Every structure is written in C-alpha cells, then in structure tokens.
Amino acid sequence: MSILYDEGQQAIATESRRVLDARVGKDRLLKLLEQVGEYDQPFWDTAVEQGWTALAIPEEHGGLGLGLVELGLVALATGAATAGAPFLTVGYGAAQALIGSGQADLQAAWLPKLAAGEALATVAFAEGNAPLPPLPTTIFAGGKLSGAKEGVTGGLKADFAIVWAAHEGKPALVLAELKNAARTAVESYDNSRLYADIAFAGAPATLLAEGDSALALARDVLARMAVVTAHEQVGGAEALLYIARDYATTRRAFGQFIGAFQSIKHRISEMYGLVEIARANCIHAAASEGKDNFLIAAADARISATDAYDTNSRDCVQIHGGIGVTWEQGLHLHMRRARSLAVELGNLYYWEDLLVEQLTGVAA
Amino acid sequence: MSDLEAYRAKAHAWLESMSPKYGREARRGMTVEQELALGREFQALKYEAGYAGINWPKEIGGQGLGHLEKITYDSEEMQFGMPTVFFGISLGMPVPILIRFGQGANGEHNEWVKERVVKALRGEEIWCQLFSEPAGGSDLGGLRTRAEPDGNGWKMNGQKVWTSWAQYCDYGVIVVRTDPTVEKHKGLTYFWVDMKAKGVDVRPIKLAGGDSHVNEVFFDDVRMEDSQRMSPVGGGFGVALTTLMIERYIATDSGGFGPHLDVFTDLVKGLEINGKPALADGRVRSAIARNHAMRGGLDSITKRAFQMMQAGMEPGPEGSLQKLVAVRSRQKLSELAMDLQGNLSLHFDPHAYVKEDWSASWLNAPTGRIAGGSDEVLLNTIAERVLGLPQDHRPDKGVAFNQIPA
C-alpha cells in the first residue's frame, strides 16, 4: 500500500527538520570524523528531548505508540543533516526484537529505558562480510554467549545488544549486556557511528527466539531498520540534490551558470529521479509494516535508497569540481555516510538476494 | 467497496466479456487492417457501454466523470490489450482541442463539432496530430510548413513527419508557420485540416521493427478556410502546448509498455548458466532486484498521484519520471533477456507482441525513448521546470525565424 502523510505526520517532518537545522552543524560533525569513540551528543540529547526515541515504542512501555512512517520522517530529516548518532535506527531495531520476542519481563526491563533515552541498544547480526549468516559462529549455550561480531554499529556505547547466534545447531536471537563483553573501537571513515568489534567470552545472555522464528524475527528487525535507514539515505540524497542544484545556479563558467550545460542539468535531473523513486518506495515500505509483502517493500526501499545516496554523493561532488573534495566544504560527510549506511544494514548483495528469494522462492 | 473500486470492478467485468472477441489473444496473426476494423467495432461498443469520453462533458457526447474514472478504466483496459491503439492520439489530444477551439469549415460550431466528437468516440473517424517535421521534433518551434493567406482562407505547403496513423485519419490538427519574419514561436498558427483534401499526400514510413504506424504527410497547395483556424494568427504555439498538456494524467506502465518483470523471472526459471540454474546467478538476481526496486518506486509514485487526486490535490511533478525511467530500463532488460537465451534468441517474429516478446520489445524500445518527448527533453524539463535550473544557451532567442542560420 501507499499513503499520503496526514497532518500529524507532516508536522513531525517539518518540526524534525527545523530542530535539526538549528542544532546540527557541519563544524561539529567534521570534528567528530577524527574522534574515535565519540558521537554527536547534542544530537542525541535532541532526539531524546523531542521524543524520537519513544516514537515507535508501545504506549504501555512509555512510548508514543507510533510506527515506521513517523520514525521514517524523522530519519529523513536526520539523513539530510548527516546527524551523527546511530541509535535512532539500531536502538529501534533492538526494541523491535524485544517486542517481537514476546518476552514481557525483558520488554518491561528495557523498553521504558529505551523510550526515555536512559539506555542505548544495538543489534549484532553480522559476522565477517555476511549481514545475516545462515548459521552464525557465535555460540549461545547454557545461558552464555561466546564469539565475535565485527563492526557493530553503536557497539562502543550500547548497553546491550540483540545478538544473532547459534543455539544447539540452530540460529537464535539472544540479548546480551555489553558490559560483559570486550569491545575494540573500529577506526573508521565515519567514526560517529561508534563501530566496535565485540568479543563475547561466556557472557551471560538471554534467549529471545530460536530456529525458524529467530530467522523470521531477525529478518523482520533487519527489514524495519533498513526502512528507517532508507529514509535516512533518501534524506541525504535529497539534500545532495539541492546542494548540487544550488551550486549549479550560482557557479559560472564559460560565461553562464553551469546548470545551463546539459551535462550538468541532466545529471541533476537524474539525481532527482533517484530520490523520488526511493522516496516512493520508502513511503510504501513504511506503510507496509506488519503486512505480508513487508520484506519485499523494505528491500525495494533499501536498494533504491542505497543507489540514490551513493550516486548523489558521487555526482554532487563531481558537479562541484575541486571545491567538492575539500575537508571544509563538507560534502565528504555525505560521501562517508552514504557508504556507512550502505554497508551497515546489509549490503546490496544481501538485499538483492533476499528480494529475489521473496519474489521467486529461490534462495541464492 | 469505494465508488471507484466498484467502477473498476464493473469496467473489468465488461472488458472480460469483450475479451474473447476483441482481446489480445483473439487477434493473434491479424493484419493491421483487420485489427483496425475490429478496433472500430470495439470502440463503438465501448461508446455504447459508456466507457468512451469518460471525463468529457455529457453535452458533447462524453460521460461527465473525472480523471480518476478515466485512469481507472484505462489501466483495466491495458491489461486486456484491446485494439484501441488507433484511437489513442485521436481522443487524447486533437479531439479535446477541437472541443475547445474548433468549428466547421463554414464556421458552424456546436453541431459540427459534436458530430465529429461522437464519430471519433465511436471509432468512425480518426484524428491525427501534425506537429513534428524533418526540421523540428524536440524543437517544435523550428517547424517550416507554411500557410499563406489565399483569398479569405489559407494555402498550405510543406511536410510533416512521424504522424501516427495518418494513413487511416479523416482529420488532423496542425501547426504551421504563417509569418517567418518574427521570432520562431511567434509566427505559428494552429488549424485543423481535412486529411482527404486535395493536395494531402500520406506516405507510411516503415520503422525498424517492421511496422508502419507513422507517416510522412506532404501538403501541396492545400486549401484551408479561415474558420479552420484554431488559434489567433501567430498564437499557434500556445495552443500546441495546451494540446500537449491535455493528457497530464494518464495511465502509466512501470514496465515501459514492454514485458512485465514476472515475464522475465518466468523466462529465467527455465534457463541455466554454466550448468546451474540461471536464477542462482548473481548477475541475474541483481538485474531482477534492481528492476523490481525501480518499478516498485514508479508504481508507488502512480498510486500516490492517484490518492492525491482522490483527495482533491494536484499530484507532484515526480509523475514526469515514469516514461523516462521505465522505457530505458525496458530497453536494457530486453537486451538482457535476449542475452540469457543465447542463440535461442536469434529467432524473430516481426508480429510478436511487445509486452510478451523480448526481441520485439527490444527492437521497438527506441521509439518509446524518442516519441512524445525524448529522454533528453524530459531531463531538460525536469531540470528547468521542477528544479529551477537555467535554460540552455539558445542562439535562436530573439531572432526572426528567417534569420536563424539553417
């Protein structure tokens, strides 16, 4: 299905854009690029204050009981601002895993804290280069978790993680508090994502789901996060479209605005096309939350949004020429974010294969 | 069920009842002339059933409904492949313009126009649109066919080209140059023309795919009455733009009017690459996934445009992406489908249906990227109208037409 945003949703879109315009600045984001282990605290304080952490958490657990459509609109605004905190997405994923597990005590323990911004959470599904390996090498046995997860988003500061592990030869989802794990910071091209390599050596953990239901839940959680991220990617891609447009209507060469040259204007029109196709997929996917076709809709959104953000980063820089590659001008904030988001939520190989599996019934 | 869904269901049921005699399957192997005869029959039945002129005023022979009903019916009809292709342009642009601005050769208006409209709706008469010329396609304002005052009327000479279905047409609307001494867009005037008049010579052009639906049309001292004029003298370009804007909301096809993606996946399921299922090949999976994501986006744009219209809002400009994105992807996907079949794809049936056959789709795809606004013109339009980028350098601006270097 697809929808038109209602008044409340439009208000979320405008308000989140307005708040971020006022509070997120390029200078602070540039500094964060060179600091390992730090993220944009003022942004996160804003997110908590604005209730964005509570948006998609049920009311009975202290949340606002809204859904992917609303969270997507906030993500659209954070993407435009390259706002530097990963927890809007991965914290949401962890909350959704708890909700999907049906375990009331864990929900009661953690969801109110996540809603209030008092706890930070992430998901650790990937191993090596596989976003969701069929049978992970991280092992859950006798209430203990052992194994390694590379490049966990937000892993440096999260209080707990939802971990994709193997339990008695079957896949499982478990909750593990990260104070009991060894975390090594990953020095990255996008450091405010707080990437960590995490080693579990017999860390206490709680089983959330196993076997087929664990796989179904993990896919659903990953798809939900992918839809949030797709909005973020569209927000970034759209920002780049207008940065390119504005530059092309002010920069002159050969006696005219460079936007008059078809080599430039056609490139910018193509950027527009990528943004609008991905946006339409995002709206459709967010409105398909909980429906049979959700994985397909999420994959469409994820694939088109990744393509849009990568392409628009590349082309926006190209349209700027030399100034586009300077540190100070800051387009590389988008270049970096386009890549980190492209990788974090499962690369295109994963989503293309999943989509084709859903469409044809044939796994890769 | 909403009113619109009920309307859709009723239209679907009616089309289903028509399908055994007029649908795509029933017409396999027919010549164009046979299809046209059947098409005229179907069009008359469509008129009787109330599905012709859906969003036109009742007074003129239409149904007095809205865009939404029109698009709803059209998207249903598209699925059945009914023989309406001959009437698409006629009813899409020339006849609506006739309703607004036309009168008969002797100045009679209402009755003459209404008679033309009803005959066009019933498929008895067909109208063509004579815009493009050898010297002016994307640059419509560069056209050279001229009309000169001749007594109390006009005398026309020149050549049009790419005129769809002109060989079967009774009338046409035409833009011609009436003053070469002023700027190019200001010296044009809009007329209707009797395609059976003395001095009109229609010559079909065989296209690369083998069919001949487009024509060259030559005018040799063709007489037109002044009452055939549909714009002020020198005001023809504006009416031409109005004509092109009439069909703003049309039924679209994210498959670019070629085969749908499930036709591709069905093909792939039966094939192997290097002794393994083709569907296990990453290149093939990537192509399916990318196309699905792109077409899904276009479909969602269409659905939202429809919802906006239902809510009484103007749909966004993103609808202009449909043709640009869908047709060129169809072209590439068609090539890929042929590659996948290897030597087996060398067989070619010139009468195959473009929505089912990859070779036919491939060979006819370029037309879709050129006709009705080329990719390049569409990109310019998005850049200039939607994004506010400046126009290209235009050496012909402010210059009298006859002073522009040819």
Provide the domain limits for residue A195: 121-210
What is the average pLDDT across A96-111?
97
Claim to verify: residue A219 and residue A197 sit in the same structural domain: no
- Cβ of A272 within 8 Å of Cβ of B389? The answer is no
Range with lowest mean pLDDT among A359-363, B132-136, B229-233 = B132-136
**String of b and e for A1-32 (b: at least 16 CB within 10 Å)?**
ebbeeeeebeebbeebbebbeebbeeeebeeb
What's the pLDDT score for residue A1? 67
pLDDT in tens, B5-43: 999 999 999 999 999 999 999 999 899 999 999 999 999
For residue A132, being part of any structural domain is answered with yes
Work out the minimum CA distance from A274 to partner chain B, whole angstroms: 9
Of A248, A304, A359, the CB nearest to B389: A248
| DSSP result, B140-157 | GGG---EEEEETTEEEEE
> Tens digits of per-residue pLDDT, A132-142?
999 999 999 99
Given a contact cutoff of 8 angstroms between Cβ atoms, the answer to whether A238 and A80 are in contact is: yes
- B297–A contact, CB cutoff 8 A: yes
Q: Are residues A78 and A159 in the same domain?
A: no
In this structure, are A138 and A52 located in the same domain?
Answer: no
Are B293 and A353 within 8 A, CB to CB? no
Instruction: Summarize the confidence of residues A35-41 as an average pLDDT.
Output: 95
Which chain B residues in 352-391 lie under 8 Å from chain A, judged by CB atoms? 376, 379-380, 382-384, 386-391
Burial class for B181, CB neighbours closer than 10 Å (0-12, 13-18, 19+): exposed
Mean pLDDT for chain A overall: 97
What's the number of domains chain A is made of? 3
- A291: domain CATH number is 1.20.140.10
Does B296 contact A284 at a Cβ distance shorter than 8 Å? yes
**Nearest by CB: A269 against B304, B382, B390:** B382
How far off is chain B from A102, nearest CA to CA, in Å? 32
Average pLDDT of the residues in B73-90: 94
Helices (H), chain A: 7-23, 26-33, 41-49, 68-80, 87-101, 104-116, 211-248, 262-287, 294-320, 331-344, 348-360
Is there a single domain that holds both residue A334 and residue A233? yes
Residue A350: inside a domain: yes
Same domain, A219 and A206: no
Residue A296: which pLDDT band, with cuts at 50, 70 and 90? very high
Tell me the pLDDT of chain B averaged across its residues. 94
Which residues in chain B have Cβ-Cβ distances shorter than 8 Å to A272? Answer: 321, 382, 386-387
Q: Quote the CA–CA distance of B35 and B187 in Å, as a whole number.
A: 40
> Of A71, A95, A116, at which residue does a domain stop?
A116
In this prediction, residue B314 carries a pLDDT of 87
pLDDT at B251 over 80: no
Chain A environment of B5 (Cβ under 8 Å): none
Residue A1: inside a domain, yes or no?
no
Q: Is residue A129 part of a domain?
A: yes
- Residue A2: inside a domain: no
pLDDT digits (tens, 9 = 90+) for B183-214: 999 999 999 999 999 999 999 999 998 889 99
pLDDT band at B373 (very low <50, low <70, confident <90, very high): confident
Residue-wise pLDDT for A175-220, tens only, equals 999 999 999 999 999 999 999 999 999 999 999 999 999 999 999 9
Q: How confident is the model at residue B242 (pLDDT cuts 50, 70, 90)?
A: confident
Angle, CA of B59, B63 and B66, to the nearest 5°: 115
CB contact under 8 Å between B307 and A259, yes or no, is no
The last residue of a domain, from among A116, A149, A176: A116
What is the ipTM metric for this complex? 0.96
Question: What average pLDDT does range B267-285 have in this prediction?
Answer: 96
Do residue A239 and residue A153 come from a single domain?
no
CA distance A121 to B269: 42
Give the pLDDT score at B269.
95
Query: pTM for this structure?
Result: 0.95
Lowest mean pLDDT among B26-30, B117-121, B291-295: B26-30
Among chain A residues, the shortest Cα distance to B299 is held by A280
Give the per-residue pLDDT at B248: 64
Instruction: Indicate the residue among A64, A96, A116 that finishes a domain.
Output: A116
